[in-house]
Amino acid sequence: MIKPPSILVAGSSNTDMVIMADHFPSPGETILGGRFLMNPGGKGANQAVAAARLGGNVAFLSKIGKDVFGEETMAHLKTEGIDVSGVAVDDQQPSGVAQIIVDKNAENCIVVAPGANMTLSPKDADTHIQLLENAEVLLMQLEIPIETIVYLAEKAHEWRKKTILNPAPAQKLPDELYACLYAITPNETETAFLTGIKVTDEITAGQAADFFHKKGVKTVIITLGAAGAYVSSVDFKGILSAPAVSALDTTAAGDTFNGALAAALSNGKDLESAVAFANKAAARAVTKMGAQSSIPTLEELSKPV
């Protein structure tokens, strides 16, 4: 008998159109770029692929358009071994797309047209609620409607699942959502937006973590880029460092981190080990171009950079 997926990723699916450039254009400016790449992306799909490649048994809940981008997305997710029974097709809205510019410093600038992603409703989620019933870990981001995120989080909390929220792109969150979370994983920018606290060191990271704890979040993981991640839980508080690498493109680093975290937790790793694993995976991802194309496999992680 085939074991049902232990991770449910609910979120967006996009097609990423990436242009390499020397610098970001100013308003009204046209610049000549370099290399062009078109890759499957979207925070939800990225994190689902990361979790699957890094040892997780994954189902994906999402919505795509009835177009070539949607068809390519479905085919790609199936090749990654992801359960796509929860991916619905919207006849009215196009699949999501993202335009990404990556500069010479490996920083990125992204504009997303969400399309069908923003029609993923609580009703759609309820149609596939068995995927959540079977899962141990629920992983979500903020590129689908907030009411759907809250609905799933409340169900997961009721059923004692571990819900991880990657609050990106940042938006204000309702208190009822915080209360349902096992873990929240903002980066420094998202942390400042949500808490009003700029993270500059371990002390300010702790202050920001206390904001989330007071909202009811059990575990706070603030990702710090090349520095690793600050972790605050009942059993551990402090920074877990990331391996030093030469970064080429940071586009999917956060998504790789979150997918790796979910995979590690679903496979029984303790929190510190899971974050260390996620740091290692994210560090490997930034050494390659693209979103899903940069996400490593378990085999790749076992080899030196």
Residue 297 assigned ligand-binding role: no
Residue of 83, 103, 255, 270 marked catalytic = 255
Q: Count of CB atoms within 10 A of residue 73's CB?
A: 26
Distance CA 169, CA 11 (A): 12
**Known catalytic membership, residue 103:** no
Handedness of CA 137, 139, 144, 146 (dihedral sign): positive
Residue 285 assigned ligand-binding role: yes
Residue 108 assigned ligand-binding role: no
Residue 45 assigned ligand-binding role: yes
Residue 279 assigned ligand-binding role: yes
Residue 88 to residues 13, 115, 183, 227, Cα–Cα distance (Å): 11, 13, 27, 38
Distance CA 165, CA 152 (A): 11
Beta partners for residue 165, in sequence order: 140, 184
Structure tokens at 285: 């991802």
Residue 136 assigned ligand-binding role: no
Residue 253 assigned ligand-binding role: no
Residue 139: in which H helix or E strand, if any? strand 137-140
Determine the 3-state secondary structure of 268 from DSSP.
coil
Residue 258 assigned ligand-binding role: no
Residue 255 assigned ligand-binding role: yes
Q: Which residues are annotated as a binding site for substrate?
A: 14-16, 42-46, 143, 255
Q: Which residues are annotated as a binding site?
A: 14-16, 42-46, 143, 187, 223-228, 249, 251, 254-255, 279, 285, 288, 290, 294
Q: Which residues are annotated as a binding site for ATP?
A: 187, 223-228, 254-255, 279
Residues known to be catalytic: 255
Q: Which residues are annotated as a binding site for K(+)?
A: 249, 251, 285, 288, 290, 294
